[in-house]
Amino acid sequence: MKNGKANDVLESTLSALASYTRHHFAYEEDLLKKAAFPEYEAHCLEHRILLEEVQKIQNRFKKGESVVSTDLFNFLKKWLVDHIKGTDMKYSSHI
């Protein structure tokens, strides 16, 4: 931020987040499908919702809107806590 490069860093960070998320979810969903995870559809729905939120954040950023806020950090924290530590743990014993 001090060097005037905050937007460049944020743009690459959001892009990397979106790319990683799509790749990770595709891998995870393939694994769950092969394992015949009974909550597969509901799990995939959660993934689609997160991907939509990430896309909305990227779109807002591209329009010049501020996206760095406590709302963004709270959203990411909630996702990490609720999905990864909660939903993802449901399939770990199944697999």
Which has more pLDDT, 66 or 53?
53
Which has more pLDDT, 71 or 19?
19
Which residues, in sequence order, are CB contacts of 19 under 8 Å at separation 6+? none
Neighbours of 11 (CB within 10 A): 13
pLDDT tens string 28-64: 999 999 999 999 999 999 999 989 988 888 888 888 8
Cα distance from N-terminal residue to C-terminal residue, the chain: 44
CATH topology of domain 6-94: Four Helix Bundle (Hemerythrin (Met), subunit A) (1.20.120)
Query: How much is the pLDDT for 48?
Result: 94
Query: How much is the pLDDT for 90?
Result: 84
Domain range list for the chain: 6-94
